[in-house]
């Protein structure tokens, strides 16, 4: 029976070509849009992860409880040994150390000027093989100069540099309070200026190498936080939860403010609600889009059934039962729906894969905007398992529903009227 229906569909293109094209286009758009929306939503979270939270983060309990104050006196000790343990326990995760601190910045040759408050971030910029500059998009966010190449060089936000009237190559003095509590000055050289794309950060932020930050704060082999990034490039609870459970067993007998603790991305800075809302918004948008496409495909199936009203009359006149005609039309719509869904899903996944792999570079449209470290220049889609089968809803179910609705008229046909219709 299926073979017979397939032959009929392929030989009578007026009956199958348009419905298959409509189903293919609808499913392709639904699949691609789902991948695109997933990519946009996830990218927002990943930007926060790269810059602030990591997919998981290790801090001391005391540091986490007072994180807004950046209490580096409660920082992690024996950071090198702890990083080695983390790398051995979680081999699929990339671990990076960072230090955040505050101070006052002034131009070196004008020390009589009132120092400007500054927030600083210590990153591993000079170690061989470090990916911190790429992870934070520092090179593409440069406005002037270059990234630090030697110890003692720093990056400064471009807006902050304008306020201080400094440029790459100038010397500045950073006044800070070390972990021992005493103030001291450190002379640093500006290697370049960058744009963060965030108003608060662009006002007064500098970036130093991690070793320089440790030297400035007298924090040898100590760091404020160790961030972990999953090899998949995306955060997910199924990966993070077992890591937290494992880390708790490693420190089950330890107590005190200086004991290391591991936190998931969703446990930091109120991101749990944001992650849930992002997932919910994506599902809502996808649901609305699928409803719209389902209505279009439903109407296509309905019109296809009505257009064949004369054919149905002839088939009833030559002896087919109404049930046989109705079931054959449903089977045809199933075949059309499956064919269109397979083709549409294949095209939609191919487009999503291209956008996920190569991305869409929007840097030409954002040159004059405030995008920088916090905003990516490349938009990417993300393919997830539901993308492989979600096309069945608009592609098959809606087409079949439209055909079933149109086919109800078969049972209302009056056989005595068939000859008048055929004569007409």
Query: Over the stretch 364-390, which tens digit does the pLDDT of each residue have?
Result: 655 544 455 555 667 788 888 888 888
CA atoms of 195 and 143, how far apart (whole Å):
7
**What is the C-alpha to C-alpha distance for residues 95 and 56, in angstroms, rounded to an integer?**
9
| Beta strands at 116-123 and 93-107: parallel, antiparallel or unpaired | antiparallel
Mean pLDDT score of the chain, rounded to an integer? 81
Q: Assess whether pLDDT exceeds 80 at residue 402.
A: no
- The interaxial angle of helices 237-250 and 79-89, nearest 10 deg, is 120
153/168 Cα distance (integer angstroms): 10
DSSP state of 93: E
Residue with tokens 């100069």: 145
**pLDDT given at position 168:** 93
> Of residues 415 and 201, which shows the higher confidence score?
201
Dihedral (CA of 232, 286, 49, 126) sign:
positive
277-296 average pLDDT score: 69
- Comparing CA positions, the residue from 315, 301, 324, 406 lying closest to residue 1 is 324
Alpha helices in 49-90 (DSSP H): 61-65, 79-89
pLDDT value, residue 279: 67
Determine what percent of the chain is predicted with pLDDT higher than 70. Answer: 79
Q: Where are the domains of the chain?
A: 2-47+274-423, 56-232
Read off the pLDDT band of 82 (50, 70, 90).
very high
| Beta-carbon contacts of residue 231 (< 8 Å; ≥ 6 apart) | 92, 93, 94
Tell me how crowded residue 348 is: count the other CB atoms within 10 A of its CB: 27
């Amino acid at each position: 029976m299926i073979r017979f229906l397939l032959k009929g569909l392929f030989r009578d293109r007026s009956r199958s070509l348009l419905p298959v094209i409509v189903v293919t286009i609808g499913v392709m758009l639904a699949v691609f849009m789902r991948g695109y929306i997933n990519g946009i939503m996830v990218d927002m979270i990943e930007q926060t992860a790269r810059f602030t939270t990591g997919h998981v983060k290790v801090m001391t309990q005391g540091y986490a409880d007072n994180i807004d104050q950046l209490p580096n006196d409660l920082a992690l000790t024996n950071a090198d040994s702890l990083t080695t343990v983390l790398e051995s326990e979680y081999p699929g995760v990339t671990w990076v150390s960072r230090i955040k601190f505050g101070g006052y910045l002034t131009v070196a040759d004008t020390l009589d000027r009132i120092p400007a408050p500054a927030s600083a971030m210590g990153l591993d910029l000079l170690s061989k093989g470090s990916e911190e500059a790429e992870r934070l998009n520092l090179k593409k966010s440069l406005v002037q100069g270059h990234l630090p190449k030697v110890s003692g060089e720093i990056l400064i936000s471009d807006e902050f540099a304008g306020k201080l009237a400094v440029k790459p190559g100038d010397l500045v003095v950073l006044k800070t309070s070390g972990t021992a509590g005493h103030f001291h000055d450190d002379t640093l050289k500006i290697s370049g200026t960058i744009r963060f794309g965030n108003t608060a950060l662009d006002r007064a932020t500098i970036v130093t190498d991690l070793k320089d930050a440790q030297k400035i704060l007298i924090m040898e082999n100590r760091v404020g936080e160790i961030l972990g990034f999953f090899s998949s490039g995306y955060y997910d609870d199924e990966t993070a939860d077992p890591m937290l459970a494992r880390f708790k067993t490693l420190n089950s007998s330890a107590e005190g403010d200086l004991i290391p603790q591991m936190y998931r991305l969703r446990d930091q800075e109120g991101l749990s609600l944001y992650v849930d809302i992002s997932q919910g918004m994506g599902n809502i948008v996808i649901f609305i889009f699928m409803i719209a496409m389902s209505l279009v495909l439903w109407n296509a199936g309905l019109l296809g059934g009505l257009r064949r009203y004369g054919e149905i009359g002839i088939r009833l006149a030559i002896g087919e039962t109404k049930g046989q005609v109705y079931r054959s039309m449903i089977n045809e719509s199933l075949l059309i729906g499956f064919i269109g869904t397979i083709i549409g899903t294949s095209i939609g996944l191919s487009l999503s894969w291209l956008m996920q792999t190569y991305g869409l570079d929007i840097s030409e449209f954002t040159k004059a905007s405030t995008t920088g470290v916090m905003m990516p220049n490349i938009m990417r889609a993300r393919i997830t398992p539901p993308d492989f089968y979600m096309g069945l809803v608009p592609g098959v179910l809606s087409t079949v529903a439209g055909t079933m609705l149109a086919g109800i008229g078969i049972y209302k046909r009056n056989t005595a009227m068939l000859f008048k219709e055929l004569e007409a």
